[in-house]
Amino acid sequence: MLSKNSRWYVPATLLLFAIFLMVACDSEQRPAPIVNRPQQEATDQAYTAEALTNAPPTEGPGPTPTLTSTPFQMPTQFPDAEPGAVIAEVGNREITLEEYQARVRYERWLPFYSIARDIPELGFKLLDLTRPENSQLQALLYTLNSDPVLFGEQVYNAMLTDQVILREAGRMDLELEQTIFDGRLAARIDVTLGEGGARPPEWDEAYNTFIGDMEQQTGMTEEQFLNHIRALAFYVQLSEIIGQEAEFENTDIITAAQVQDVLLDSRDDAQAFIDRLESGQEFFAVARDFGFTPEGGEASREIARDTEGLPDGVKEAVFDAEEGDIIGPLPTAGGWYVGKVISFRLDLPQPADVEALRNEYFRNWIVERLDDPDYTTEFEGWRDFIPAFPLPADVSPLLRTENFVIPDDPFVEEGEPTPTTEPLDNSPR
């Protein structure tokens, strides 16, 4: 499949403003300059230490010389919200506003948590928004600040998708594949599975640390988190099952045939030619006896479905045949046609194309269930209660404003799309 690669740029002032808003630095703190990393003399290790020991006070974690920050206290938002209000139903499974808000906070928190966890090892290049590999972080910052409702809608759709997956897995009585489940979980808690998918010795410690941080900063429960990971694992299993039902629009994949053929003056000659072929004689030996020589020295020729000069009846007979079959005698304007099929040229879909087709079929299969009012019921009102935290600096003091690098000369090309994050997790919408 073709994909269009497009680039987009965000005005420096707008993106910088977005980051300043999100880090929520104290107004009395000294102005935080944007660090030009290529010209910075200090090493990333030294800068990490400086960032940890001199982090400005924020709404969340306070300054600390270690990676363990003071506990984040979630601010009270939306005093008029009803946590138990049902915002969607998938089958008989209700999704409440409280669950949804916790999931929004989790999806905001997770990418920043992962980045902050990697900075001590990989350095502040992870916050350098001039690097192409960090384009998704740039898009995330832009979306969270300029279009938080879009982000909230992505989370909503991801939660609905999770419930569709869990419901269908239960209906099919699928057994969860532990290796897939552990793989999805390992990616979140930042461990590497061993040979054969074995959990490493540090698994329990990493898991407990992750769950503790997650619950503290998002309000998402361990049970909700594990159900989400189960949905991610079942998604893989279901995609393989449902994807097999995909059908190719064009099942006729034979595009050309290699044949040896002649045109004879009479039906009797054509039949005599065929009789000798069926007795086992070589095509060209028989052709020489009838006074034919290969045109241009070619031993055979290729016939495609759009080859000119051959009646449709001849081409149909060729493509309906099998390798080694003898065709004829068939009447044409130039004489009686006799041919022998040597081979076919197949235009087989590439594995990547087959995989893309099956993935698209599966995602459409999910959308059908999301759009079916007898399957999924969506309620209004939840868009007014989309959380706007945690902020980057709430997650870690490493994510202070001055640690980000903004492009020096960003611009917006005419016609380029506004940067937005990709759909979350497995959401097909």
- Domains, the chain, in order of start with CATH, read 12-245+357-403 (no CATH), 254-346 (3.10.50.40)
For 202, the token pair is: 């540090």
Q: What is the pLDDT of residues 140-164, one digit of tens each?
A: 888 888 788 989 999 999 999 999 9
Alpha carbon distance 41, 61 (integer Å): 28
The CA–CA distances, whole Å, from 148 to 93, 154, 287, 423 equal 26, 10, 77, 14
Alpha carbon distance 146, 337 (integer Å): 71
Q: Which amino acid is at 270?
A: A
Q: Do residues 387 and 101 touch, judged by C-beta distance below 8 A?
A: yes
Residue 259, φ and ψ in degrees, nearest 5: -135, 160
Q: What is the pLDDT of residues 226-272, one digit of tens each?
A: 999 999 999 999 999 999 888 765 545 667 899 999 999 999 999 99
**Residues forming a β-bridge with 326:** 340
Q: What is the pLDDT of residues 102-114, one digit of tens each?
A: 999 999 999 999 9
DSSP H stretches of helix in 132-202: 135-146, 148-171, 178-189
Q: Which amino acid is at 204?
A: D
Q: What average pLDDT does range 292-306 have in this prediction?
A: 76
For 327, the token pair is: 């065709």
pLDDT at 47 over 50: no
- The strand pair at 301-304 and 326-332 is best described as unpaired
Query: For residue 345, what is the DSSP state?
Result: E
Alpha carbon distance 148, 388 (integer Å): 8
Query: For residue 391, what is the DSSP state?
Result: -
Alpha carbon distance 63, 69 (integer Å): 7
The confidence score (pLDDT) of residue 11 equals 45
Q: Comparing C-alpha atoms, which of 108, 107, 120 is closest to residue 161?
A: 107
Alpha carbon distance 93, 166 (integer Å): 10
Furthest-apart CA atoms within the chain: distance in Å: 105
Q: What average pLDDT does range 336-341 have in this prediction?
A: 93
* Radius of gyration of the chain, Cα coordinates, nearest whole angstrom: 32
What b/e readout covers 338-361, taking b as 16+ CB neighbours within 10 angstroms?
Answer: bbbbbebeeeeeeeeeeeebbeeb
For 153, the token pair is: 């809608």
The CA–CA distances, whole Å, from 91 to 88, 102, 233 equal 10, 21, 20
The CA–CA distances, whole Å, from 220 to 113, 158, 313, 371 equal 15, 15, 68, 27
Q: Is the overall model pTM greater than 0.85, yes or no?
A: no
Q: Which amino acid is at 83?
A: P
The confidence score (pLDDT) of residue 271 equals 95
Question: What is the percent of the chain where pLDDT is above 70?
Answer: 74
Alpha carbon distance 237, 239 (integer Å): 6
For 240, the token pair is: 């393989």
The confidence score (pLDDT) of residue 163 equals 97
